[in-house]
């Protein structure tokens, strides 16, 4: 079977890869398990030196890797370069902090020694998406490898080149052969990989449907899993918000990565006293953004990653309009080659519409009117998702209280858009998944939290 890479900006097939057989996959996993036995015995100093080198390799290949992302999934060059820099920063963060995060914790009991020790689990299997093809991988791989685990990657089929490049980066940095491997396989083989006895844990970033399938299989095999799934992130704009700042932040968040981010702002819930001003300025700002060839640095918005994804997004917009939403901007497939979709704004968005109920994975904004603060928070929480959220207010103490106690999400930012950061835990609740990536919380997900007592 061939796995094809189609450039979403042109619609042309640019590369194809031979999918691996079941025998090849089993052989790679076995080699990874054998390599991990030795890797678990290495010191933090050894691992740290290699991880720092991986960060250097990333930066030395930054332009090449950004161009590959651009070709495979349409990310503009500036966005690709920023993603590689972020991966390098994660390498440095875990290289410098892993030993501290995993040091033994002494506990006072009647024993002469009683402690909690953090030990590696073994080979971790990662199923990763195309939208941030390097960052999604490195935010699992850095803590997993620094903890003494091995890594097996099944990446999205449209970013095979990036998947192979990541394996190459770790080898180039000096990691042992088979410490981190890439599998070129389709979704139909994921279940078999999870069943493999050498796989000790599973992590997935993807849709809620994919999370149910992978998490269900991991549970059946009694293997630890972490799921980072979709989101319908609400951004609440209160009556006292700085509207100009809110518009700028909200538009940036909605259009990041051509709108293809699980933590992009999706639903803009605006107090009725300021909704007129917010909507007018928001539409103008969305309209000003230039869409086109992602290799042209003057363009801010590239194509959607695949034609089928663009078409599904358009279907969600049309269905929302059919159910009563008002289309203020965009909403039409442009007459140009490639999987492009324009910045789009919907108002009068109500329950029962895709724009209210579902994740819109593209540059489409849903503006929802709220009667007051209480109503805005109610609407924000009226979702099965719970990944990120934002609150805009000039009263920072009130904003912090709302973010901390009243909006249900894995992360809530005040007067800014949600970002992932290696220093902070990342993940969601509800249909946005479970478990955490990043910070020391992410590192502790894939270790054996072991009690040791000496009489």
Residue with tokens 């934002």: 390
Report, as an integer, the average pLDDT of 188-194.
98
d(CA 189, CA 420): 30
Place 216 in a pLDDT band, splitting at 50, 70 and 90.
very high
Question: What's the pLDDT at 148?
Answer: 98
- Supply the mean pLDDT for the chain: 98
The residue annotated as part of the active site, out of 72, 81, 83, 228, is 228
The confidence score (pLDDT) of residue 299 equals 96
**Is pLDDT of 1 > 90?**
no
Phi, psi of 287 (to 5 degrees): -65, -30
Q: Would the pLDDT of 344 be above 90?
A: yes
List, in order of start, the domains of the chain with CATH numbers.
Answer: 2-229+429-454 (3.40.605.10), 234-414 (3.40.309.10)
187-216 mean pLDDT: 97
The one catalytic residue among 70, 91, 262, 412: 262
Label residue 277 by pLDDT band (50, 70, 90).
Answer: very high
pTM of the entire predicted model: 0.97
Q: Which pLDDT score, from 0 to 100, does residue 41 have?
A: 98
pLDDT, greater one: 303 or 1: 303
- Clarify whether 228 is annotated catalytic: yes
pLDDT-derived band at 210 (thresholds 50, 70, 90) equals very high
Query: Residues 18-69: pLDDT tens digits?
Result: 999 999 999 999 999 999 999 999 999 999 999 999 999 999 999 999 999 9
Decide if 87 is catalytic: no
CA distances 327 to 41, 211, 282, 362, Å, are 60, 32, 13, 16
Query: By percentage, how much of the chain surpasses pLDDT 70?
Result: 100
pLDDT of amino acid 246? 98
pLDDT exceeds 90 at position 93: yes
pLDDT tens digits, one per residue of 221-235 = 999 999 999 999 999
Q: What angle do CA 355, 359, 362 make, to 5 degrees?
A: 85
């Amino acid at each position: 079977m061939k796995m094809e890479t189609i450039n979403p900006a042109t619609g042309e097939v640019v590369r194809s890869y031979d999918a691996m057989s079941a025998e090849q996959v089993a052989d790679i996993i076995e080699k990874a398990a054998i390599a991990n036995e030795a890797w678990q015995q290495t010191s933090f100093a050894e691992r740290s030196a290699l991880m720092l080198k991986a960060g250097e390799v990333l930066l030395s290949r930054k332009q090449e890797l950004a161009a590959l992302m651009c070709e495979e999934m349409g990310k503009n060059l500036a966005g690709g370069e920023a993603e590689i820099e972020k991966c390098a920063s994660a390498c440095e963060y875990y290289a410098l902090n892993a030993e501290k995060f995993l040091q033994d914790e002494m506990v006072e009991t009647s024993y002469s020694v009683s402690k909690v020790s953090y030990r590696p689990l073994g080979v971790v299997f990662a199923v990763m998406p195309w939208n941030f093809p390097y960052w999604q991988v490195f935010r699992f791989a850095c803590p997993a490898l620094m903890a003494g685990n091995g890594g097996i990657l099944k990446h999205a089929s449209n970013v095979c080149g990036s998947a192979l490049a990541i394996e190459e980066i770790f080898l180039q940095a000096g990691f042992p052969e088979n410490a981190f491997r890439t599998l070129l396989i389709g979704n139909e083989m994921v279940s078999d990989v999870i069943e493999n006895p050498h796989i000790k844990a599973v992590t997935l970033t993807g849709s809620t449907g994919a999370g149910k399938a992978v998490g269900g299989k991991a549970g059946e095999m009694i293997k630890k899993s972490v799921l980072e799934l979709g989101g319908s992130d609400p951004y609440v704009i209160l009556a006292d918000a700085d509207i100009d700042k809110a518009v700028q932040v909200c538009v940036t968040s909605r259009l990041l990565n051509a709108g293809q981010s699980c933590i992009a702002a999706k639903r803009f819930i605006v107090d009725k006293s300021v909704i007129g001003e917010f909507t007018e300025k928001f539409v103008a700002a969305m309209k000003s953004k230039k869409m086109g060839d992602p290799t042209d640095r003057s363009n801010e918005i590239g194509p959607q990653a695949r034609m089928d994804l663009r078409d599904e997004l358009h279907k969600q917009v049309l269905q929302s309009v059919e159910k009563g939403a008002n289309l203020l901007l965009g909403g039409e497939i442009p007459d140009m080659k490639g999987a492009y979709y324009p910045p789009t704004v919907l108002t009068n968005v109500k329950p029962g519409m895709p724009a209210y109920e579902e994740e819109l994975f593209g540059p489409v904004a849903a503006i929802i009117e709220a009667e007051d603060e209480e109503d805005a928070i109610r609407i924000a929480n009226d979702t099965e998702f719970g990944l990120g959220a934002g609150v805009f207010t000039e009263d920072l103490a009130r904003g912090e209280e709302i973010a901390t106690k009243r909006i249900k999400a894995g992360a809530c930012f005040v007067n800014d858009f949600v970002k992932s950061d290696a220093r902070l835990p990342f993940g969601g609740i509800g249909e946005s998944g479970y478990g955490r990536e990043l910070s020391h919380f992410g590192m502790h997900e894939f270790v054996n939290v072991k009690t040791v007592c000496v009489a």
